[in-house]
Structure formats: structure tokens, C-alpha cells
Structure 1
Amino acid sequence: MRLRGKYFAVDINVPTHAALMAIVKTSFEHRQGFALATINLDHVTKLEREESFRMAYHAQDLVVADGNPIVWVSRLAKSPVELMPGSELVVPLSQLAADMGVSIALIGSSDESLRASGEALKAAAPGLDIAYVHAPAYGFDPTGDAARDILKNLDASGAQLAFLALGAPKQELFAALGRSLAPEVGFASIGAGLDFLSGAQIRAPKWMRDLALEWLWRLAGNPRRLFGRYVQSALAFPSLAFHAFRHR
């Protein structure tokens, strides 16, 4: 489905989890890189404001729905897609990589979190090879010289799948650069996915996720940082819904 705003249009071009796994499997087999983005309402507000983020999204090969509001809009548009939060893709993608003998990389977060999440992934995906791990320094520029050095080392490591835990918009900007500098690597932008695995952040209980209340859990944990973001996201939803209804 096409997600439309005032200044952007993004195609959610992978509608189901099964379709995503099939596409990634084929990419691994042919050593074809890709960039996977998981769009949510926070991304929508950034897409409306930031031209650089819009350009980064144009470089994403695969886009899935991360957030119940995006799924609701897809249903309103009569082009329903499945909910696929980035944090819930880390383990199944790692298991696929292990089954196919594909090495992975972990980029972002902190050294401690990457170490712990790597151990958790190896336990969940026996035989998984983690070929490259890097936690960028504070203030990391995802398009600068440091990013280019990381991509050079990543490409030399032989990893075919890199999990990016840099947060938006840094991870999408980094993935866009990576598509040109490390063309055989698949980049999956997964936000706090590695921190959830390591225990550095605690995810909402399943019952809250099932009731689409994960935002409330996160807000309660960090109201000062998230209140303004969630207000902006809530204000963005009516426009998305209007465009979805208009173009369905």
C-alpha cells in the first residue's frame, strides 16, 4: 500500500512476514544487498519535516509496517498489511541467517548491549556467526567519514546481514549509504531491538502489545523524552487516514 502525507509518499511493499522471509532468503542466496525500513508514526512526522529522511527512505528496498496505526491505515485503504515491528524481526532473521550459513553484524547501541544481545541471538539461532560488531561513538554522523569506515570494515567482514540499532533517522541514513558502499549486505533498521534482547531496555508486556498499548508503556518509562513525540505522532494520524480513505 502507499502511505501518503503532505510532503511524502512511501510504499509499504512487503505486506506479510512470510513474504519478507522469502525475499531475504532469495537475497542471501544471490548475495544481493537490501535496506529494510520499518515505518511507524514517528517516521511519518520525520518524513514530513526532513528532506534528508525522505531521501533515505527512497533508498530503502523493503518497507514494512511497524506500529498498529500503520496497520489500521492499511485496512482503511483496503490494502491490509501485517504488523512487523523491527524488534520482532531480529530473531527470525537471525535464525534464517544461521540456517543458510550467513554471517551477520550488529551495529549501534552500546558495547555492553551488543555483547549481551549477541549471546542471546546465538542461543536463539544455534550456529549463528556474528562477523562484525560495532557501537559508534556518541554523536555519530551516519553519513560521515566514521560511517564510511564502519561500512568498509563491515564489507570486509563478509557479513551479509547487518542489524542497525541506531534509531531513526540515523539508521535509515546509514543504510542508504551502505547500499552504495556495501552492496552485498542487507541492512535491517531495528531501533531498540538489540537493547530488548540484551535487557538494556524492557519491552511492554505482551498483553499491552496485544491491546496496542505499547506506546503507553514506553511513555510511562520516559515521559520527558517521548511526550512531545507521541503528541506529534497522534496529530499525524488523521491526515494519513484521510489520504488512505481517499485513495483506497
Structure 2
Amino acid sequence: MPSSSSSALKLSADASPGGADQPPVPVLPILGMPVHDLGWNQALALLEEKLVSRTGFTHIAFLNANNANVMVQDPAYRDVLSRCLVLPDGIGVDIAAKFLHGGRFTANLNGTDFVPAALTFISRPLRIGLLGATSDVLQAAAQNFRRHTPWHEFVEISDGYFDRADPALILKRIEAARIDLLLVAMGTPLQEKWVDRHLTSDHARVVVSVGALLDFVSGRVARAPGWVRRLRSEWLFRLWLEPSRLWRRYVLGIPVFLIHVLRHRLLHPHAPSA
């Protein structure tokens, strides 16, 4: 469990899962970005609360080592993430939390596991929009989602190859669909920036930037075996499957991320390490 030191933990009153009568949710900053430190049940309940609320708009994003590297190089992306509810994804940010704050995140809430779990957890029927990926992947993912949680309605908004310079048609389509939850799969940092620039509570109560989730749900990309995931080594499995595409992200990206973490610690020497 993360250190409870007040200087290691910030508090986010906006993310309080139970409203004003409940204590705010702790966050652990990673490279200066607050990342919510939630257990599985707490995270699922928080999402459900955001979905049933009649007011407000929540954009959920995930921070892993690769996204953090992008954030360091791209101030505009950092600004977008600062307006999101950010959840921890992967062993890289766990290592960073341990080094910077003396404790790991309570749970690995990566989108590939969190979104399907949330759809199962929420029994109230929802209208869920899917935006991104290729047409074939989008259709296959929608079919598998319908089999997974048939009480929800899945709306295929568009693949990810629409005219982003003129998104008016897509925005009208999303608004007309009366979406509760929108899953956007257009890759980091494009998806987060696009959501931040264009979407409001007129389009959905909650939007989740999901990266490659639709590829996994469609079956186009295989998940690692359960024992590999339990060892927190799914990145090795993905690297083995797609070395030419992912070697830069993992073979180069992970050491670069750890250098950023070390540099951040050196520039902020008074942060406790437990």
C-alpha cells in the first residue's frame, strides 16, 4: 500500500466516490501528474457514480510508462491529463510510485481489464458508444461486448479514420445517440486531446480513452495468458507478439521512463521515499 504521508499523497475532493460526506480519494503524483490511488471496488463504484450522475462530465485516462514519456515531451498532453481522472496502468508506474512515495498503487487499473470489469459490475443498462480503431475491429469488438454484457446497448459511432479536421458529423452522431459512456480508441495522445477539445456533457456523461482496448476485445490482438498478467509481464508478451512495432516503446521507453523518474526525484529531493 502507498505511504500515507501527507506530502506523498494529495487529496482530490472532486473524485470523492460518496459525495461530500465521504473522504476524498488519495492520489499519488507520478512525474507531477496526480494519479488516483483506488482499489478495484472503489474505482468501479466511482465510475458507476459518475455514470448515474445527472450533471457533470468526466474524462478518464490511464497513465503508464509510455504515456508518461509522451507527457514529459508534450506540455499540451500534460495539460489535457490534468483535466482527466487518471488511473494507474502497469508495473512501470508502480515502480515509480514505490521509488517516489514508498508504496505502490493499490490496484493496476489498466483499461484493458478495467473497462470490461466495469461493464460487468454496472447492472443498470447503459448506452455505450464505441469510437475508433478500424471498421472491422470496431464491429467485432461491439459483437463481443454484446455477448459479454447483453444488458447494455452498444452503439458503433465510427471507426477512427473520420475527418478529424471537420468532426462536426461525428459529434452530431454522438450527441444524437444519447450516450452514457463513450469509449474512444484512437491512440495516445491523439485520443485524449480529441476528447478534451471536442466533447462535453452534451455528448456523454463519461468518456474513457481506451487505447488498444478494442483490438483486444475484438480478438485481433491476443491477451497474455493469465499467469503472465499475474506476474505483471504482459508488456513482454506484447513485445514478443509485435516486436517491430513495440520495441521502441518497451526496449527504449522503459529505461527512458525510469530516467525521468530518477530525474524528478533528484529535482524534488524532499519528497518522502518511506
What is the SS of the residue equivalent to 1:162?
A: strand
- Considering fraction of residues, name the structure with more helix: 1
Which has the higher relative contact order, 1 or 2, with Cα contacts under 8 A spaced 6 or more apart? 1
Q: Deviations over 1:178-220 (max 9, x none)?
A: 4437464311111111111111111222222222222222222
Q: TM-score, normalised by structure 1?
A: 0.86
Deviation at 1:41, TM superposition (A): 0.6
1:3 partnered with 2:24: no
1:71 partnered with 2:71: no
CA distance, structure 2, for counterparts of residue 26 and residue 64 of structure 1: 16
Q: Percent identity?
A: 22
Give the structure 2 partner of residue 201 of structure 1. Answer: 221
Give the structure 2 partner of residue 18 of structure 1. Answer: 41
Which residue type is aligned with residue 94 of structure 1? L
Give the structure 2 partner of residue 210 of structure 1. Answer: 230
Deviation at 1:152, TM superposition (A): 2.6
What is the SS of the residue equivalent to 1:100?
A: coil
Matches within 5 A, 1:184-195: 184-195=204-215
RMSD: 2.2
The 8 Å contact of residues 131 and 158 in structure 1, kept in 2 or not, is answered as no
Q: Which moved more, 1:12-21 or 1:102-111?
A: 12-21
What is the SS of the residue equivalent to 2:200?
A: helix
The 8 Å contact of residues 11 and 63 in structure 1, kept in 2 or not, is answered as yes
CA distance, structure 2, for counterparts of residue 92 and residue 33 of structure 1: 21
Q: TM-score, normalised by structure 2?
A: 0.79
1:48 partnered with 2:72: yes
The 8 Å contact of residues 3 and 12 in structure 1, kept in 2 or not, is answered as yes
- Aligned length in residues: 238
CA distance, structure 2, for counterparts of residue 173 and residue 127 of structure 1: 31
Deviation at 1:14, TM superposition (A): 4.3
CA distance, structure 1, for counterparts of residue 130 and residue 119 of structure 2: 11
Give the structure 2 partner of residue 111 of structure 1. Answer: 135
Matches within 5 A, 1:78-157: 78=102, 80-81=104-105, 82-97=107-122, 99-137=123-161, 141=164, 144-146=165-167, 148-157=168-177
Which residue type is aligned with residue 110 of structure 2? P
Q: Deviations over 1:144-192 (max 9, x none)?
A: 322x432332122111101111111111112212443746431111111
The 8 Å contact of residues 224 and 238 in structure 2, kept in 1 or not, is answered as yes
What is the SS of the residue equivalent to 1:89?
A: helix
What is the SS of the residue equivalent to 2:221?
A: coil
CA distance, structure 2, for counterparts of residue 179 and residue 20 of structure 1: 23
Structure 1 gap segments, 5+ residues each: none
Deviation at 1:108, TM superposition (A): 0.7
The 8 Å contact of residues 137 and 220 in structure 2, kept in 1 or not, is answered as yes
> Which has the higher Rg, Structure 1 or Structure 2?
2
CA distance, structure 2, for counterparts of residue 227 and residue 66 of structure 1: 19
Deviation at 1:232, TM superposition (A): 2.5
